[in-house]
Structure 1
Amino acid sequence: MDPRLLRFYNDELAYLREDARAFGEEHEAVAGRLGLKTPTDPDPYVERLLEGVAYLGARVQLKIADQYPEFTQHLLHAVQPHYLAPTPSMCVVGFEP
């Protein structure tokens, strides 16, 4: 397992919990039904749901991070194809008699 997955997972879970807290403050009636009203004693089913979504989001972020070099290479090839063309080695030489 990739060690970056845990970091992505924790970041995603922290983001989801913060977003759920903000949603709960904004929409109190819905937050009560979802179990988001009490941050000290959250609903275990909602917590498992947030953890599952965080895991899936972390896997997507990991795949995007792994594919980023290929993505940029294809994008650069589409925008400026001559930039990726191999360049022969060159140097400037001066001769003095």
Structure 2
Amino acid sequence: MFNRYFQEELDNLKDLGGEFSKAHPALAPMLSGRSSDPDVDRLLEGVAFLTALLRQKLDDEFPEIIHEL
């Protein structure tokens, strides 16, 4: 279940990078495809991991939040 959240977040970050490169063509060569810098890849994976944890927690606790209202 968590893998789905993680992959969705990672795909979303890559899509946003593509949109950013279209809006800023001068930076496009640095943003196209997979990064050649493994540290940048790990940073994106870390952000995707933390965001996926947050999304999973929100989805798991949503019924409890609504019940309290």
User: Does TM, normalized by the shorter one, top 0.5?
Assistant: yes
3-state SS of paired residue (1:6): helix
Percentage of matched positions with identical amino acids: 35
Trace 1:18-97 onto structure 2 (pairs within 5 A). Answer: 18-32=15-29, 35-36=30-31, 38-39=32-33, 41-44=34-37, 45-75=39-69
Q: AA paired with 1:12?
A: E
Count of equivalent residues = 68
Structure 1 gap segments, 5+ residues each: 76-97
How far apart, CA to CA, are the structure 1 residues paired with 2:62 and 2:22? 37
How far does the alpha carbon of each residue in 1:16-62 deviate from its partner, in whole angstroms, 9 at most, with x for none?
10111110121133445xx31x31x4233322211111000000011
Q: Residue 14 of structure 2 aligns with which residue?
A: 17
User: Which structure 1 residue ranges, 4+ long, deviate > 4 Å from structure 2?
Assistant: none
TM-score if structure 1 supplies the norm length?
0.62
Q: AA paired with 2:25?
A: E
TM-score if structure 2 supplies the norm length?
0.83
Of structures 1 and 2, the larger Rg is shown by 1
User: Which has the bigger relative contact order, CA under 8 A and spacing at least 6?
Assistant: 2
3-state SS of paired residue (1:51): helix
